[in-house]
Chain A
Amino acid sequence: MPLRPQTDALRGSLDLLVLNTLSLAPMHGWGISQRVQQTSKGVLEVNQGSLYPALQRLEKDGLITSEWGTTDNNRRARYYRLTAAGRRALGDELESWRRFAAGLEAVLRTS
């Protein structure tokens, strides 16, 4: 049975996942949701719609920016890209997440 983390915990790391996804290339909302699900190997099942308020929040904070573009099969879509501030924030977040995970790991190993 796969692990299903609590939604609250997920929301906290959703920003990190979005930023990480966008660090590879600009992407539209559906693409981001697919990517997140793929990279988390289905472990993190995103309530897809909740991605959009997160995107809006990140844009408001100046971490990402967005503009209209067209997909490969010629459909109009909103593309999000990381800003310089977003890139910096991602670095910081990853660093602290790794520290946290390592700490957690150490605790789990000793117990």
Chain B
Amino acid sequence: MSWLEGSRARLRLLFGRRAAEFRTDEEFRFHLDMETDRLVREAGLSRDEARRRAVAAFGGVQNHRESMSDGRGLAWLSGMSLDLKLGGRMLVKYPGLTVVGGLAMAFGIWFGAVTFQMFGVLTGTELPLPDGDRIVKIQNWDIQTLKDEDRVLYDYQFWRSARSITDVGAYRDASVNLAGGDGAVQPAAAAEVTASAFRIAPERPLLGRVLDESDERAGAEPVVLLGHGVWANRFDRDPGIVGRNVKIGAGFATVVGVMPEGFAFPMAHELWLPLRTDVPGVEPLRGGAITVFGRLGPGVSFESSQAEFTALGRRLAAEHPTTHAQLQPHVLPYTQMSVDTGEVTQVKALTYVFVVALVMVVCSTVALLLFARAASRETELLVRSALGASRRRIVAQLFAEALVLAGLAAAVGLAAAQLALTRWGKPYLMMAYETTMLPFWFDFDLSLTTIVAALALAVIGAVVAGVMPGRKITRGLGTRLRAGTAGGGGTSFGGVWTAVIVVQIALTVALPSVVMLVRGEIRRVESYDFGFPAEDYLAVTLGADGALDETMTEEVRAAMGARLSSSIDALRQRLEAEPGVVGVTTVDEFPGEHHDYRRLEVVSMPDSARSWVATASIHPSYFDVLQAPVRTGRAFTSADLAPNARVVIVDQAFVDLVMSGRNPVGHRVRFGSSAQLDSNVADLPSYEIVGVVKELGISSISMPQRWAGVYLPFVPGSIQASPKMIVHTRRDPTSIAPRVRELATSVDASLRVEKVTRLDLMAAPMLWLIGLWTRIIIGLTAVALVLSLAGIYAVLAYIVARRTREIGVRVALGASARRVITSIFRRPLTQVTLGVIAGAVLIALGAIAAANTTQFEGTEIGGMTFGDVPLLVGYAILMLGVCTLACVVPTVRALRVQPTEALRAE
């Protein structure tokens, strides 16, 4: 047990510093007393003489004490704690530097912490369930398309035989209409799931029981398990809910239980229905999308499980070469979104590099400030050096000072990061993923990893801000000491610092142009012209139950399509009859959204280039409801709905962009995907243009281009995943939303209203996202601006302080104030000018890059108009002015110096 005793002794020595010192003193005293007594007793010396000899024999009490203190391995620690204390005092002594430098570092660390946490949330592997790190999902990866193939019902039957994974199960999202206790029907996020899910996430139900295998059998009574939220909000916490029949979609199901609060397995679900997987006659790649999950068996590693599934995949590929040759099953941690093709790692690595670079740039300016402060303390450092402090020791002291500042910044940055994550993290991901529910394992509280990463950033920052200036200032300290030039100043700002300031100013100049660009984007989105008063229209996204039933044959699908069409038609008619409703129509994509983009050729103009167009399938009433009558030609008639009618209506942009202003009516066009048009153009059917309408939002709000639009009549009976309806109302359109829900369920109980919003507000989430980024960029700009001003100020103040004597002599010799100012200003002015030029070059490069990306193709330079240029020039001049102002205070101070004073200072 010697190591235990040893480490105990070591710990005691390390932490009980005071106690150890006390003990040493007491031991020494005892020793000297005993030796004195012995000498009195044995050599018959007087007490004083005996004491003197005892001390002499002991040999330098202080020396031994110090060598013991060193032996405790604490010398550096006590030195460091002194440095840290000194650093703390410096923070108070230079509040300006503390605030500016600290806030700048805090901003960098804040950005880093938020980024780390968000990546952690998105790619985290920790599932808050028992054995969470052993819960997996199994995905079929298509090596040709590099996408998940999630129609795996057939494979699932096969995968269940795997030995490396237990509790294999599956689920699929199945949002349903649920009638609550009061009869009101609302959609609920349901999962059809196998009973094994409740072994993977073994939570005891609050009431009743969870789903079990008997519920999945053919002919079993339909049952449902309720989530806590649904039970509380929709059934008023009814304690007798178990055993009751509730209406789900068009049918009924018996409630078997209620889950406790917070249970949302598999993703973000609030209602669970049994999933039937033992369907007879399932064929490969048929049936709806399901997600397969399970738990690694005891002692099984990811690798060995993967090996088993690779073998299973090969067997399936051999049995079904047509469907499975390019499919590979992958075993992934449950929280991983998809097979990692290296992109995620790449993006992650790039972002981390960016974060570290940002912190280093910020800290290099803080380094400048610390350098100026250290330079003004040169005398102190020289004295320390004279007293025997090594160069390393002095650098360590400056590092400790920076570390205190960085530590403070890390605390502020982390607190701000937690605040930002709580306020914006969740809505940000909801907007970005266009969902209202996030997976239950998404945790926005700062993780330990994030905190460690932020502290690492702080240490990196302290190294940059402390060690760099420390090394520079201590270089040649000994020479200066010998030459006795203390106070005369041998330290100067080198090229590195000039570069830092120039980069800083360049960023300050360039960043606002990004803000302007983004603001321009917001303005464009806000002023997007729908071509009709969109604020009077309601956008309704519908959904239908059972659209993904795997047992469905072509006939059944056709029948379902017909039923869905007639339901939507019935809903349209019922809505039109409502008071306050002007008109109702249907379309495949709402105006302002992304449409289908295809390439088109005008048959009658063979020499014309093929153009990209956006297409929309519409109900014949579309233009009437949007109050945009056909300008030339005719509107769609019911005869156009016949499958071989082959007519289209184009918009004004088509006339301008494709027809160069000629009347398109009567011309024929062919369109298809890019590849189709290039290879077998003759096989594509041609369509006759029968009319022209104004532009009605066929260009997506998120893209600045103007798109040529082509409208096709919507063929009834074809199945759409989410049919869309537009309702024109006389009063506030949102007031009719509850009525839309009611009518939808009364027309067809399986018809769900998934989303209702005012048509013009559809871009609101996007605006919010852009706004958030604008705020971050404004924050960055402000930090860059304050830092460059502080940097310039520090440099000037330092230069002026160093040249006090020179200025005094010059003024004494009769130099004019103008000459003195010129000589002082030359350097900072050069730096500011260089910075502004570099910034302008950055803007130009950015604009050219933006102009070359497809996103901005064919628009003004990067969304920036020439009207913005004078604004930018004005801003640059303003920057120059502000920087000049930062030079004024130290200069005035220098000019106030009395010549006698300056000379006396020497």
A residues sitting closer than 8 Å to B (CB atoms) are: 28-30, 33-34, 47-50, 52-53, 56-57, 59-63, 65, 75-78, 83-85
| Contact (Cβ within 8 A) B6 A60 | yes
**A48 to B28 alpha-carbon distance, docked (Å):** 10
| Contact (Cβ within 8 A) B3 A56 | no
B residues in contact with A48, CB < 8 Å: 31, 35, 57-59
| Contact (Cβ within 8 A) B5 A29 | no
| Contact (Cβ within 8 A) B30 A57 | no
B residues in contact with A85, CB < 8 Å: 1-2, 5-6
A residues in contact with B515, CB < 8 Å: none
Contact flags B48-71 to A (C-beta < 8 A → 1, else 0): 000000000111110110011001
| Contact (Cβ within 8 A) B60 A60 | no
User: Contact check: which of A29, A61, A62, A84 meets B31 at CB < 8 Å?
Assistant: A29
Contact flags B524-543 to A (C-beta < 8 A → 1, else 0): 00000000000000000000
B residues in contact with A76, CB < 8 Å: 26, 30
Q: In the complex, which residue of chain A has the Cβ closest to the Cβ of B30?
A: A77
User: Contact check: which of A50, A56, A77 meets B59 at CB < 8 Å?
Assistant: A50
| Contact (Cβ within 8 A) B2 A52 | no
Give how many A-B residue pairs fall within 8 Å (CB-CB): 78
**A56 to B27 alpha-carbon distance, docked (Å):** 12
| Contact (Cβ within 8 A) A60 B64 | no
**A28 to B23 alpha-carbon distance, docked (Å):** 13
Q: In the complex, which residue of chain B has the Cβ closest to the Cβ of A77?
A: B30
Residue B481 at the A interface, CB < 8 A? no
**A65 to B13 alpha-carbon distance, docked (Å):** 12
Supposing A29-B30, A60-B10 touch, asked if A53 and B71 sit within 8 A by C-beta, the answer is: yes
Q: In the complex, which residue of chain A has the Cβ closest to the Cβ of B54?
A: A48
Residue B871 at the A interface, CB < 8 A? no
Minimum distance in angstroms from B55 CB to a CB of chain A = 9
User: Contact check: which of A29, A49, A65 meets B9 at CB < 8 Å?
Assistant: A65
A residues in contact with B67, CB < 8 Å: 53
Count chain A CB atoms within 10 A of each CB in B4, B6, B60 and give the residue with the most. Answer: B6
Residue B72 at the A interface, CB < 8 A? yes
Residue B338 at the A interface, CB < 8 A? no
| Contact (Cβ within 8 A) B2 A30 | no
New A-B contacts (19) at CB < 8 Å, excluding given A49-B60, A56-B71:
A29-B27, A48-B31, A48-B35, A48-B59, A49-B31, A49-B61, A50-B59, A52-B27, A53-B71, A56-B13, A56-B72, A59-B9, A60-B9, A60-B13, A61-B6, A65-B9, A75-B33, A76-B30, A84-B2
Supposing A56-B71, A65-B9, A85-B5 touch, asked if A50 and B64 sit within 8 A by C-beta, the answer is: yes
| Contact (Cβ within 8 A) B6 A52 | no
Minimum distance in angstroms from A82 CB to a CB of chain B = 11
Contact flags B1-25 to A (C-beta < 8 A → 1, else 0): 1111111011001000000000110
Supposing A30-B35, A56-B72 touch, asked if A63 and B27 sit within 8 A by C-beta, the answer is: no
| Contact (Cβ within 8 A) A78 B6 | no
**A24 to B65 alpha-carbon distance, docked (Å):** 28
**A30 to B57 alpha-carbon distance, docked (Å):** 12
Minimum distance in angstroms from A54 CB to a CB of chain B = 9
Residue B34 at the A interface, CB < 8 A? yes
| Contact (Cβ within 8 A) B59 A47 | yes
A residues in contact with B68, CB < 8 Å: 52-53, 56
**A62 to B72 alpha-carbon distance, docked (Å):** 14
Contact flags B26-51 to A (C-beta < 8 A → 1, else 0): 11101101110010000000000000
B residues in contact with A61, CB < 8 Å: 6
Count chain B CB atoms within 10 A of each CB in A33, A34, A52 and give the residue with the most. Answer: A52
B residues in contact with A60, CB < 8 Å: 6, 9-10, 13, 71
B residues in contact with A29, CB < 8 Å: 27, 30-31
| Contact (Cβ within 8 A) B27 A78 | yes
**A77 to B33 alpha-carbon distance, docked (Å):** 11
**A51 to B125 alpha-carbon distance, docked (Å):** 56
A residues in contact with B58, CB < 8 Å: 47-49
**A65 to B6 alpha-carbon distance, docked (Å):** 9
| Contact (Cβ within 8 A) B30 A30 | yes
| Contact (Cβ within 8 A) A62 B30 | no
A residues in contact with B2, CB < 8 Å: 62-63, 83-85
Minimum distance in angstroms from A47 CB to a CB of chain B = 4
B residues in contact with A63, CB < 8 Å: 2
| Contact (Cβ within 8 A) B63 A49 | yes
Q: In the complex, which residue of chain A has the Cβ closest to the Cβ of B55?
A: A49
Minimum distance in angstroms from A62 CB to a CB of chain B = 3
Q: In the complex, which residue of chain A has the Cβ closest to the Cβ of B67?
A: A53
Minimum distance in angstroms from B28 CB to a CB of chain A = 7
Give 26 A-B contacts (CB < 8 Å), ordered by A residue: A28-B30, A29-B27, A29-B30, A29-B31, A30-B34, A33-B31, A47-B58, A48-B57, A48-B58, A49-B28, A52-B68, A53-B64, A53-B67, A53-B71, A56-B68, A60-B71, A62-B5, A62-B6, A63-B2, A76-B26, A77-B30, A78-B23, A78-B26, A78-B27, A84-B1, A84-B2
Q: In the complex, which residue of chain B has the Cβ closest to the Cβ of A46?
A: B57
**A47 to B67 alpha-carbon distance, docked (Å):** 14
**A30 to B9 alpha-carbon distance, docked (Å):** 21
| Contact (Cβ within 8 A) B71 A57 | yes
**A78 to B72 alpha-carbon distance, docked (Å):** 18
| Contact (Cβ within 8 A) B13 A49 | no
Minimum distance in angstroms from B410 CB to a CB of chain A = 34
B residues in contact with A49, CB < 8 Å: 28, 31, 58-61, 63-64
| Contact (Cβ within 8 A) B63 A62 | no
Count chain A CB atoms within 10 A of each CB in B27, B35, B58 and give the residue with the most. Answer: B27
Smallest CB-CB A-B distances: 10 pairs: A62-B6, A85-B2, A49-B64, A62-B2, A30-B34, A49-B58, A47-B59, A62-B5, A30-B31, A49-B59
B residues in contact with A57, CB < 8 Å: 71
**A39 to B30 alpha-carbon distance, docked (Å):** 22
Count chain A CB atoms within 10 A of each CB in B26, B28, B31 and give the residue with the most. Answer: B31
**A63 to B26 alpha-carbon distance, docked (Å):** 22
Q: In the complex, which residue of chain B has the Cβ closest to the Cβ of A83?
A: B5
Supposing A47-B59, A84-B1 touch, asked if A52 and B28 sit within 8 A by C-beta, the answer is: yes
**A82 to B26 alpha-carbon distance, docked (Å):** 22
A residues in contact with B60, CB < 8 Å: 49
**A52 to B58 alpha-carbon distance, docked (Å):** 10
A residues in contact with B24, CB < 8 Å: 52
| Contact (Cβ within 8 A) A75 B31 | no
User: Contact check: which of B9, B28, B35 meets A62 at CB < 8 Å?
Assistant: B9
**A76 to B2 alpha-carbon distance, docked (Å):** 27
A residues in contact with B7, CB < 8 Å: 62
Minimum distance in angstroms from A71 CB to a CB of chain B = 8
**A32 to B276 alpha-carbon distance, docked (Å):** 85
Minimum distance in angstroms from B576 CB to a CB of chain A = 91
**A78 to B20 alpha-carbon distance, docked (Å):** 12
A residues in contact with B5, CB < 8 Å: 62, 65, 83, 85
Minimum distance in angstroms from A81 CB to a CB of chain B = 11
**A77 to B7 alpha-carbon distance, docked (Å):** 23
**A77 to B13 alpha-carbon distance, docked (Å):** 18
**A63 to B63 alpha-carbon distance, docked (Å):** 24
Q: In the complex, which residue of chain A has the Cβ closest to the Cβ of B6?
A: A62
Minimum distance in angstroms from B54 CB to a CB of chain A = 8
Interface residues of B in 325-341 (CB under 8 A from A): none
**A56 to B13 alpha-carbon distance, docked (Å):** 9
